[in-house]
Chains A and B, each alone.
Chain A
Amino acid sequence: MSVPEIIFDEVSKFYGEVLGVNRVSLRIPPGITSLVGPNGSGKTTLMNLMTGLVHPDRGRITVRGLSPRDPEQMMRVTGYATQYDAAPRGTTGFDFVSTGLLVYGYKPAEARERAWTALERVSLTDAAQRKVAAYSKGMRQRVRLAQALAHDPEVLVLDEPLNGLDPLVRAETIALFREYAAQGRHVILSSHVLQEVDVISDQVILIANGMILAEGEIRSVRDEIQEHPSQFLIRCRDASSVASMLFSQDHITQIKLADDRLGLLVMTRNREEFSKALTQIALGGHSIESVIAADENVDALYEYLIGGGR
């Protein structure tokens, strides 16, 4: 049986003359996938396209084989915690979650039970009977998350879900995402907190100006981008001579000596050649204490791919 995927096939979306996303093709497998990009890059547009809130001008989208143009089928297996902060006027947190469930067709008693369970999962039962309008930013974030997961969806789409959460709730929420992903479900999230994306994501999609720059596991994404230099931190006793030997290599673009002269930051365009050169240096009798890849995280990719393009 084939793995259920979220597929974007040459999808373009324009808001009048403003580009939303352009010719996006993606295949997103189950697991935690993070959309990473600066404001206005098209992350929310991708999520809105995926959930049918906006429609593509070109191309085709399927979510686990279902079309976003068929909300009756698709929203049964999808939960979307949007970035939109507002809830219908006068709604309490409990109403916000339970009324949605009534439209799903749950009987009132079951809708109430599921709503309580979902609110429990996001630790919001104490404030359940208060109006959403009076909630703090973090509480609104949690109630949207509760609403998105109340019907136990196969695909959870979350726009900046960790914004405004305190550290404890954040840890619980990440654990929840992992639990969902471990069950073979899709968890698609966008975030600006890159360290978190780095830690929690199975794969990332880097997007800027409505175009996909890279996608896949963080390491493989990094490997895909050969033209961008990799950074390594080297700790060694004779940093100056190691630096001079490395600098003779064509693939080395930049070397910075540490203030204590016991370390250096090296930037290379070819990881394999760098690895060979370093081996030769070590075999030549130079003591290399440690080599750490300094950029194998989303921050570095982000800086290279997006920051560099700015």
Chain B
Amino acid sequence: MNLEFRLRQVWTIARLELRRVFFSKRSFWVYLLALFPTVIFVGHAIDVKIQERRSAGDRAVSAALIDSITKGDTADEITARLGPPARDFEWKSGRRGERGRRHMVYSDGKRRADLDFEANILASKHVHTFVDFDESRTIFAGVFDYFYLRLAIFFGCLGIFMNLFRGEMLDKTLHFWFLAPARREVLLAGKYLAGLVAAVIIFGGGAMLAFAAMLWPHDPAEIKAYLQGPGLGHAISYAGAAALGCLGYGSVFLASGLLLRNPIIPAVVLLLWEGINGFLPEILQKLSVIYYVQALCPVPPPTDPNMPALLKLLISPPTPPSVWLAVLGLLGVTALVLWAASRAVKRLEINYGTD
């Protein structure tokens, strides 16, 4: 049996397993996890579109007129210049209503101007776009880091890769594979490849869909400029980070499924390990997946300026590795874990609890 034959076997096993991984009832919640941010971003995009359409109606004013509003203008002067506002709220306080407050909203179709009046004089003017490109990118970076990497890919890989062996043990079907004329390492590689392809398509695809949904409500010219600039690179980086996350977590959960009966234990241990990564000595930080994958994210996730320093340390590695070091490091960690898994699968016995 030469290497080419074994590689063909790996691919055959992976192809046979892919159908099971994609269409298993156990995988259903994995799709929900992967697509949840897309649903949120699409919902937000629809809301922005509705707001834009509403404000672009017959009460829209020119951008120059909005810019001409200055503090100290009276409400009457502004309405005389700009016409009636899109929204107008008025409150009166005091016994005779002598202390009046007013809030008016104007829009040029892309921006919204919120004007606050006190005693009929403009006290504050706040102009903002319906959707801010930089803000959207930062939000996406946060969603990718906190949701995809730390939650969806972690638990999704737990569901997919744990089931590759443990699920078949529970279904009493693992002997089907063990009776094939293939080395156990070949079987492991085939199953891992199937899980990896499925996880990358589900989570890489999910992240890309969310990325597209994030871009959708923005001005086409802005999107074009972004994609011609760093945008495409960002998309590739996110997809690559998702794929490497699946690669790393997948190998860990595949090995856990072979070594342990209860998936909760390794999941909790790994979740804690990945969570306290920032506190660990540098050498131990390198033995986690999040350390490498975070380094591949092109936009840093947003942090609350009032966040305690301890929490800040937890969510971002103090000394992120370079991209190449991150990729090579993760491949190294994965190879190490898969080697341990191959040792375990060679010892694995079929014992469904009879005779």
Contacts and interface: CB of A to CB of B under 8 A. Distances in A.
Interface of A: 15, 39-40, 42-45, 48, 51-55, 70-76, 80, 82-90, 99-100, 102-105
B24 A75 contact: no
B5 interface: yes
A86 B171 contact: yes
Interface stretch (B194-202, B224-232, B269-277, B347-355): B347-355
A83 B354 contact: yes
14 contacts: A15-B351, A53-B175, A53-B349, A54-B351, A55-B349, A71-B178, A71-B181, A71-B183, A75-B179, A83-B354, A83-B355, A88-B168, A89-B24, A103-B180
A103 B355 contact: no
B352 A84 contact: yes
A84 B9 CA distance: 24
A89 B181 contact: no
Nearest to B26: A89
Interface stretch (B12-20, B50-58, B214-222): B12-20
Given A43-B355, A105-B8, A82 B181 contact: no
A52 B178 contact: yes
A62 B157 CA distance: 39
B91 interface: no
Given A53-B178, A102-B12, A103-B9, 8 more contacts: A40-B355, A54-B350, A55-B347, A75-B181, A83-B355, A84-B352, A87-B176, A104-B181
A73 B13 CA distance: 17
Interface residues of B, number: 32
Nearest to A96: B176
A14 to B, nearest CB: 12
Interface of B: 1, 5, 8-9, 12-13, 16, 19-20, 23-24, 168, 171-173, 175-176, 178-184, 186, 347, 349-352, 354-355
A54 B171 CA distance: 18
Contact of B172 (A51, A55, A75, A85): A85
A87 B20 CA distance: 12
Contacts of A103: 9, 12-13, 16, 180-182
A54 B178 CA distance: 10
A72 B1 contact: yes
B350 to A, nearest CB: 4
A12 B277 CA distance: 46
Contact of B179 (A44, A80, A86): A80
A86 B171 CA distance: 7
Contacts of A99: 16
A55 B178 CA distance: 12
B175 to A, nearest CB: 6
A45 B175 contact: no
Nearest to A43: B355
Nearest to B1: A72
Contacts of B13: 103
A90 B179 CA distance: 19
B12 to A, nearest CB: 5
Contacts of B180: 71, 75, 100, 103-104
A41 to B, nearest CB: 8
A115 to B, nearest CB: 14
B195 to A, nearest CB: 15
Contact of B23 (A55, A86, A90): A90
Contacts of B20: 88-90
B175 A71 contact: no
A54 B13 CA distance: 22
- Which one of A15, A42, A72, A73 has the greatest number of beta carbons of chain B within 10 Å? A72
Contacts of A88: 20, 168, 171, 173, 176
A87 B172 CA distance: 8
B175 A84 contact: yes
Contact of B184 (A44, A51, A71): A71
A139 B176 CA distance: 17
Contact of A39 (B19, B168, B179, B355): B355
Contacts of B178: 52-53, 71
Nearest to A79: B179
B278 to A, nearest CB: 41
B181 A72 contact: yes
